[in-house]
A and B are shown apart, each in its own frame.
Chain A
Amino acid sequence: MTAADVEPRTTATAGGPVLAGGHSHGLRTGTPPERFTSRDPDAFAVPTGREEEWRFTPLRAIRPLLHPFEPTTEISATVEAPIGVTAESVPSADPRVGRVLQPADRVSALALARTPNAFVVVIPAGVALDEPVVVTGKATPGTTYAHLVIEAGAGSRATVVVEYTGSATVAENVEILVGDGAALEVVTVHNWDGDAIQLAAQSARIGRDGRLDVTSVNLGGKLVRLNPSVRFDGPGGLVRLHGVSFAGAGQHLETRLYVDHGAPECTSDVLYKNALQGEGARTVWIGDVRIRPAAIGTNTFELNRNLVLTDGARADSVPNLEIETGEIAGAGHASATGRFDDLQLFYLQARGIPETEARRLVVRGFFADVVERIAVPDLRERLMRAIESRLEEPA
């Protein structure tokens, strides 16, 4: 297998008026005119692997999640939360469940229909937190559904860190509500043991002038596939979707994001960086951004960069941009996949820095601009150390 198979089906920047489907330089964008969503799992055919949204995912590994099952394990959550925050497990019939999510695939629909419980974190309106809310989920082996709701009331300010540990095969839905004028940061740390499998639909709605930062940190697991999607309920919203992934030998880390600009004067800023090391290391990044006719004044930019550290790894990168109004402030995307730069290594070594330390510096530097955006200093340092320790793994 070659080191870096890049598939940038669209690579240019679009700035002017382009009709729906007109972008992508004559190639199929892969984004249907309107996403099909349903709460009925059987409204979705069982995927075969030929579908656009499944074609990169190793279906054999996730087969248990494609059909209804009785959970054989669960993710137990522990929470550190400042006073004023409520965090509790509730039955899935709770009215706070299902306000955001519109299942867009069979696994998500099955998980919504069948999860017995949901974990709900609420930051009340007007509350500004100095300390982050930390939710640590620990799984024991088995197959299960999970559901997480994070609600930031109007005008609130908070950071919520969600860390996944242990091992299981999980179909999860995450719903994020950002109230009018609220500023919410969500950091999901996928620190699974080596054999875990997680499929998670992360759906967010952002109120007027609300702001949402989501950073996904993918370190562990055999297969982790994240589907973040964002809608704006009013004008003035801002979303920043960020991710760092370190895929080691045999690891499949996939992100398929969808930002749906349907309200005016909103901004989306997408930045994902992946490093790959070892035989069969695999990352997939699909960035779909849609600007609907009503979304005048939209500003969007998305960037994916992949750093291939060894032979035998593969990174796919497909940015898609559909623009249905000419009155936008800006729209663009970029994607680049490259090998480790031997010249950087030479330069650092020529200053006496040993090779392993030089590689650490370069990889740390590669991820720095994403990790530095996380508002929790301890977490930043811990993540960098975790990434560095992944470098020690045999390729």
Chain B
Amino acid sequence: MSTLEIRDLHVRVAGDDGAEILKGVDLTVSSGQTHAIMGPNGSGKSTLAYSIAGHPKYTVTQGSVLLDGADVLAMTVDERARAGLFLAMQYPVEVPGVSVSNFLRTAATAVRGEAPKLRTWVREVNDAMGALEMDRSFAERSVNEGFSGGEKKRHEILQMTLLQPKIAILDETASGLDVDALRVVSEGVNRVRNTGIGTLLITHYTRILRYIQPDFVHVFFDGRIVESGGAELAARLEDEGYARFGVNETASA
């Protein structure tokens, strides 16, 4: 049983006069729960994801983030990952010359605290790749280099599968995916979700919620959660868009 507690989180863009983007976020995500955070462009929902992961572009000015009572904000980026946090990124970064297989094994070794036994590791990777309908040749390519949008998202979920986090944050995981890829990626997420982890799903659009059903839906606007409810809130956003928050953006696509 794990719990991620976000209390009164304020975040600025790093730098002398960086704008404040998060203006007091409160949220608790526990094992077995799936929370969807929905909001229009620029509301700060991706900043929330990056701040929890420790992206250097953002500075926390107030508030706390605790994972099972431990101070996440005091940890380095890699310590947060080893503590059990995982961020599936909207824009995964290319790392030329580093093969996927080397990257995965290095990451798994770091997170698990010891190198996985080679024979079981190969099977583990092959099974996970097969389930995500990824070709084996994928393992020999450089990390995210020349990947299509769909390949990048599959690769993120492959990592999530192998690193077995306590709490996973998925940032716009559905964006740019066609129907087939969305199904494959969502099924991958659901398999990990079904192991009992806590999930924070960040999305502008309701589309992915048809594949990954949330227990809680939160509307994010101007740097904070302005409304919370169950799955019915997503249905309402699907119909109404973000108009009642003063933004002319739809939530269905």
Query: Do A and B originate from a single complex?
Result: yes
Whether a CB of chain A sits under 8 angstroms from the CB of B76 is: yes
Q: Once the chains bind, are B98 and A362 in contact (CB under 8 Å)?
A: yes
Whether a CB of chain A sits under 8 angstroms from the CB of B47 is: no
Whether a CB of chain A sits under 8 angstroms from the CB of B250 is: no
Q: Once the chains bind, are B89 and A352 in contact (CB under 8 Å)?
A: no
Whether a CB of chain B sits under 8 angstroms from the CB of A354 is: yes
The answer to whether A367 and B78 touch (CB under 8 A), given A352-B107, A352-B111, A357-B110, is no
Chain A residue numbers with a CB within 8 Å of B103 are: 348, 351, 361
Interface of A is mostly: helix
Tell me the smallest distance from the CB of A385 to a CB of chain B, in Å: 15
Residues 88-107 of chain B, each 1 if its beta carbon lies under 8 Å from chain A, else 0: 01001111111000110011
Whether a CB of chain A sits under 8 angstroms from the CB of B191 is: no
Q: Once the chains bind, are A351 and B163 in contact (CB under 8 Å)?
A: yes
Which residues of A (347-376) have their CB < 8 Å from a CB of B? Answer: 347-355, 357-358, 361-362, 364-369
The answer to whether A364 and B97 touch (CB under 8 A), given A346-B56, A353-B106, A354-B110, is yes
Chain A residue numbers with a CB within 8 Å of B98 are: 361-362, 364-365, 368
Q: Once the chains bind, are B89 and A353 in contact (CB under 8 Å)?
A: no
Sample of 19 A–B contacts (CB below 8 Å): A344-B93, A346-B54, A347-B89, A348-B103, A349-B54, A350-B54, A350-B81, A351-B81, A351-B111, A352-B81, A353-B78, A353-B106, A354-B78, A358-B78, A361-B98, A364-B97, A365-B96, A368-B98, A369-B97
Q: Once the chains bind, are B92 and A347 in contact (CB under 8 Å)?
A: yes
Chain B residue numbers with a CB within 8 Å of A27 are: none
Q: Complex: how many Å from CA A367 to CA B96?
A: 9
Which residues of A (310-367) have their CB < 8 Å from a CB of B? Answer: 341-344, 346-355, 357-358, 361-362, 364-367
The answer to whether A352 and B110 touch (CB under 8 A), given A343-B93, A346-B93, A347-B92, is yes
Q: Which of A346, A358, A362 contacts B55 (CB 8 A)?
A: A346
Q: Complex: how many Å from CA A88 to CA B53?
A: 61
Most buried by B among A349, A352, A355, A357: A352
Whether a CB of chain A sits under 8 angstroms from the CB of B77 is: yes
Tell me the smallest distance from the CB of B67 to a CB of chain A, in Å: 14
The answer to whether A355 and B76 touch (CB under 8 A), given A350-B81, A365-B142, is yes
Q: Total interface residues on B, using CB and 8 Å?
A: 29
Known: A342-B56, A349-B78. 20 other contacts (CB 8 A): A341-B93, A344-B93, A347-B89, A348-B107, A349-B54, A349-B76, A350-B80, A350-B87, A351-B81, A351-B107, A352-B107, A352-B163, A353-B107, A357-B106, A357-B110, A361-B103, A361-B106, A366-B97, A368-B98, A369-B97
Tell me the smallest distance from the CB of B107 to a CB of chain A, in Å: 4
B residues adjacent to A (C-beta < 8 A): 53-56, 76-78, 80-82, 87, 89, 92-98, 102-103, 106-107, 110-111, 142-143, 159, 163
Chain B residue numbers with a CB within 8 Å of A347 are: 89, 92-93, 95, 143
The answer to whether A351 and B159 touch (CB under 8 A), given A346-B55, A358-B78, A361-B103, is yes
Q: Once the chains bind, are B97 and A350 in contact (CB under 8 Å)?
A: no
Q: Complex: how many Å from CA A295 to CA B179?
A: 53
A residues adjacent to B (C-beta < 8 A): 341-344, 346-355, 357-358, 361-362, 364-369
Q: Which of A355, A361, A365, A366 contacts B78 (CB 8 A)?
A: A355
Tell me the smallest distance from the CB of B99 to a CB of chain A, in Å: 9
The answer to whether A361 and B95 touch (CB under 8 A), given A342-B56, A346-B55, A351-B159, is yes
Q: Once the chains bind, are A350 and B95 in contact (CB under 8 Å)?
A: no
Give 4 closest A-B pairs by Cβ, nearest first. Answer: A365-B97, A368-B97, A352-B81, A349-B77
Most buried by A among B80, B98, B102, B103: B98
Q: Complex: how many Å from CA A353 to CA B55?
A: 15
Q: Complex: how many Å from CA A83 to CA B96?
A: 40
Q: Complex: how many Å from CA A51 to CA B53?
A: 53
Q: Complex: how many Å from CA A351 to CA B143?
A: 13
Tell me the smallest distance from the CB of B247 to a CB of chain A, in Å: 29
Closest to B108 in A: A352
Q: Complex: how many Å from CA A347 to CA B143?
A: 10
Q: Complex: how many Å from CA A10 to CA B54?
A: 40
Q: Complex: how many Å from CA A209 to CA B126?
A: 44
Q: Complex: how many Å from CA A355 to CA B89?
A: 19
Q: Which of A365, A367, A369 contacts B95 (CB 8 A)?
A: A365
Closest to B50 in A: A346
Q: Once the chains bind, are A352 and B78 in contact (CB under 8 Å)?
A: yes
Tell me the smallest distance from the CB of A347 to a CB of chain B, in Å: 4
Chain A residue numbers with a CB within 8 Å of B106 are: 353, 357, 361
